[in-house]
Structure 1
Amino acid sequence: MEHGPARRPALPTVSLAAVGAAAVSLAVVAVPWLRMSFEAPGLRVALETGGSLLAVTTVALLVRQCGLRSRADHLWLTLGLVVLAVTSLGVAGLIVAGEWSRDEARYAMGGNLAGTVLLAIAAFAPTGRLRVRARTILLPGALIAAAVFAATALFAGAAPGAGRVPIQVLIAATLVVAALGLNRRANRRNEPLLRWIAVAVVLGGFAKLDYALFPPIGAQNVHLGDVLRILAWAALFVGVLGELRARLRARSEAAVALERRRLARELHDGVAQELAFIRRRAGRLGESADGLEILGAADRALEDSRRAIEALVPPAQEPLDVALERLAARLATECGLEVQVNARAADVSAEVRAELVRIISEATRNAAHHGGARHVRVDVTGTPLAVRIIDDGSGFRDGANSGLGVAGYGLIAMRERAELVGGQFSLESVRGAGTLVQVVLP
């Protein structure tokens, strides 16, 4: 349930679910015969069993998807849904066994209110990566659920009948608060699963409202609230299943991308390097017909290998080390010198990668065209990230220079590019001893 690309569910949104459930509730208020529950023991057992299976399956998928070491809001959310699922399973078991009574209903109310309170906490809990043990949140959550359950059961036991209506209203109000918080977070973070959970919470809230307005007559009767409650679990199941499919798809795409990068590296380190060597040696044959023919063939083969590498790994998606290796091969061909890359640093953003590629390109071309360099080494190391471009050219002035007073446009452009991504640019050049260009990023 991590933050990622915007993916919106194609089916009901929170607003649509709220409007639909509200319309049904208003219809029940306006049309008296809709308020009546009807006796259907078989259907009631089927609804309770189906709802319980949906609840247990959904919670199991959610735990598998989010885990217990991801985010604080995930833990509160999972704990709340576990409490609601256990409550639903217990109610279903009592109804199927024929042991359900109005006295047992107070325990169901306690479990439902405890679960909804945890959902409301989850809607406003921190979303950052969990930095403490899961039990640091699970233990207080369990204590809160136990306290709410006990208080609700005692109150409902002391106020049977109509006295229990405020509890149903409180559950509905808590679900509304949870739905608002979850929907706001889902829209802000583009998390489709949270949006589906908000849909389920809305449906559950209206189910509790219907229970409060028109309490069920008996355990064997089917009530509108029962249908809305099952729909709530179904919406949650669809959301969790969609999130699971998206995660599996993302893992599959990541595996494919990893294999494509491996093939691109093999192609670059093998065929492309050999072709670059042939091209450099062919350049020494001069203007002879054979030399020109070999040179042309090598150029065409190098271009084909570059296209193959780019087809395997688009430049915008490739990691920094791959981008620099590709750049080194191209610069070696264009400038007629050897470019060595040593990259031992974590990957960077696409913006930083693009600016570093331009800086290295400019420094290498300067070394070849103005310094007569035959060898350039690019070192990328450490945290903070440090990029060093060292050449064996003739240099252009004595002593060290920070680059701040250099008039050359290329050097000014390199410094500006480094500063654009928050880096520091420096340059050292000694006549006859080459040049060092360095960029340090925070």
Structure 2
Amino acid sequence: MGTTRPRNARDSRQLWPRTSSARLTAAAWIAGITVTALIIWSPYLVFGYRNPSLHLVLDSVDACVALLVAYLVYGRYQRSGTWQDLLLFNGLMLLAAAGLGLSWVTSPVGGLDAGTLDIWLPLAIRLAGALLIVAAALSDPRLTRRLTPRRLHALAPVALIAVVSLALWAVGDVLPVAFDQSFVPASAQKAILTGHPVLLVAQGLAALSFLVASIAFATQPARRGDELVRWLGPACALGGFARINYVLFPSLYTDWLYTGDILRTGCYLLLLVGATREIRQY
């Protein structure tokens, strides 16, 4: 009688055909460049639709996926103790928190104009998350020092959000209007490129961080065989081009659904694929 081999990680990978991270990342770059070029140079392409409910659904789904992947990375960090997993966990937690209603939480704050704290706070948290993710991509796979219990590291995103919130609230009276939320575009035929200069610079810096991280992550799986990291490259590429599209039209702060929102959701779907494949190996 023949014997049945137990299914291990290698058997699982055979059920999921492997594609190199470099190819996946290149495909994501091509998709992002194509979409952005069509928006800039096509005078007839309608790329925006006003749909508040769908906008809210995508925001919630993206934040929940980021939270799920962050939980998975935190489990990896508990086992590995590496700087990359720690930084990646913190970055994903900040992105999830920014998408889970920071604008709604800050909107009722009395005495502050709309378009100030309710935009600057999520923007600062998203930028911090992007910087942590590129730091994770560029970090060495060295172990963190056990100066504090690793479980306490899960509180770092909460502490950062609290500090940034208090700092922005303290200077809330002098915060400029980042984006006029009462603006409703008459046409979706062209990008509007509006908003405070700091808002545009922050989105551009976040885009650069994601694009650099995509290249850095794409070079790692070949020598590490890490399923989740293999999908971080293309995911960060779409995330970077989503931020470029937010520079052209900051739809994060409107009821309009634009290509930036679609690219951002694509980023989180790729993260979900990577998390699913990693869980399948377990």
- TM norm structure 2: 0.71
**Does residue 199 of structure 2 align to residue 199 of structure 1?**
no
Work out the CA distance in 2 between the residues paired with 1:184 and 1:149. 33
Aligned to 2:260: 225
Summarize the Cα distance change of 1:89–1:208 in structure 2 as closer, same or farther, 3 Å threshold. same
Summarize the Cα distance change of 1:178–1:9 in structure 2 as closer, same or farther, 3 Å threshold. same
Give the gaps of 5 or more residues in structure 2: 1-8, 179-194
CA drift of 1:202 comes to: 1.0
CA drift of 1:187 comes to: 2.9
Give the alignment partner of residue 278 of structure 2, picking from 234, 239, 243.
243
Aligned to 2:91: 80
Aligned to 2:54: 43
Task: Give the conservation status (yes or no) of the 8 Å contact 2:234–2:270.
Answer: yes
Aligned to 1:102: 115
Work out the CA distance in 2 between the residues paired with 1:208 and 1:21. 11
Amino acid at match of 1:102: G
Task: Give the conservation status (yes or no) of the 8 Å contact 1:110–1:148.
Answer: no
Work out the CA distance in 2 between the residues paired with 1:73 and 1:117. 13
Work out the CA distance in 2 between the residues paired with 1:50 and 1:234. 9
Work out the CA distance in 2 between the residues paired with 1:122 and 1:217. 25
CA drift of 1:47 comes to: 1.3
Task: Give the conservation status (yes or no) of the 8 Å contact 1:83–1:114.
Answer: yes
Work out the CA distance in 1 between the residues paired with 2:114 and 2:278. 38
Aligned length: 240
Aligned to 2:221: 186
What's the secondary structure of 2:37's corresponding residue? helix
Looking at secondary structure, tell me which structure has more strand per residue.
Answer: 1
Give the gaps of 5 or more residues in structure 1: 249-442
> CA-atom RMSD, angstroms?
3.7
- TM norm structure 1: 0.47
CA drift of 1:214 comes to: 2.3
What's the secondary structure of 1:64's corresponding residue? helix
Query: Percent identical across equivalent pairs?
Result: 24
Aligned to 1:120: 134
Task: Give the conservation status (yes or no) of the 8 Å contact 2:63–2:95.
Answer: no
Work out the CA distance in 2 between the residues paired with 1:94 and 1:200. 28
Amino acid at match of 1:106: W
Mapping 1:408-419, distance limit 5 Å: none
Work out the CA distance in 1 between the residues paired with 2:205 and 2:142. 30
Summarize the Cα distance change of 1:242–1:41 in structure 2 as closer, same or farther, 3 Å threshold. same
**Does residue 2 of structure 2 align to residue 14 of structure 1?**
no
Task: Give the conservation status (yes or no) of the 8 Å contact 2:94–2:157.
Answer: no
**Structure ranking higher on relative contact order (CA contacts 8 Å, 6+ apart):** 2
Summarize the Cα distance change of 1:229–1:29 in structure 2 as closer, same or farther, 3 Å threshold. same
Spell out, residue by residue over 1:363-401, the C-alpha distance to the aligned partner (whole angstroms, 9 max, x if none): xxxxxxxxxxxxxxxxxxxxxxxxxxxxxxxxxxxxxxx
Summarize the Cα distance change of 1:20–1:167 in structure 2 as closer, same or farther, 3 Å threshold. same
Mapping 1:141-290, distance limit 5 Å: 149=164, 157-158=175-176, 160=178, 161-163=195-197, 164-216=199-251, 219-246=254-281, 248=282
Amino acid at match of 1:42: S
Work out the CA distance in 2 between the residues paired with 1:162 and 1:131. 41
Higher Rg: 1
